[in-house]
């Protein structure tokens, strides 16, 4: 599984999303490659309309907000993690 975290290091919500995703993935023992994407061109091409963005295996899972850890768990369940 490839998880992309779209945002910038200057964005507090982007940092919060990264921490939540890393903690949730670790707690569930999910095997995933987590990539931070900060290039504006790549972010625009992903289809994410607001930051932070979460893309899992090429599909936009979250855009413009930080989901709760419970919601992240449901998202991971939905993609078969």
> Which residues are catalytically annotated?
11, 14
Distances (CA, A) of 31 to 2, 23, 24, 50: 9, 13, 11, 27
Cβ count within 10 A of residue 12: 10
Cβ count within 10 A of residue 74: 11
Separation CA 8–CA 5 (nearest Å): 9
């Amino acid at each position: 599984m490839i998880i992309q975290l779209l945002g910038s290091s200057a964005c507090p919500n982007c940092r919060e999303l990264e921490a939540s995703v890393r903690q949730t993935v670790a707690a569930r023992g999910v095997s995933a490659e987590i990539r931070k994407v900060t290039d504006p061109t790549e972010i625009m091409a992903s289809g994410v309309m607001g930051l932070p963005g979460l893309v899992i295996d090429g599909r936009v899972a979250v855009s413009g907000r930080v989901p709760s850890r419970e919601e992240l768990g449901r998202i991971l369940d939905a993609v078969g993690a």
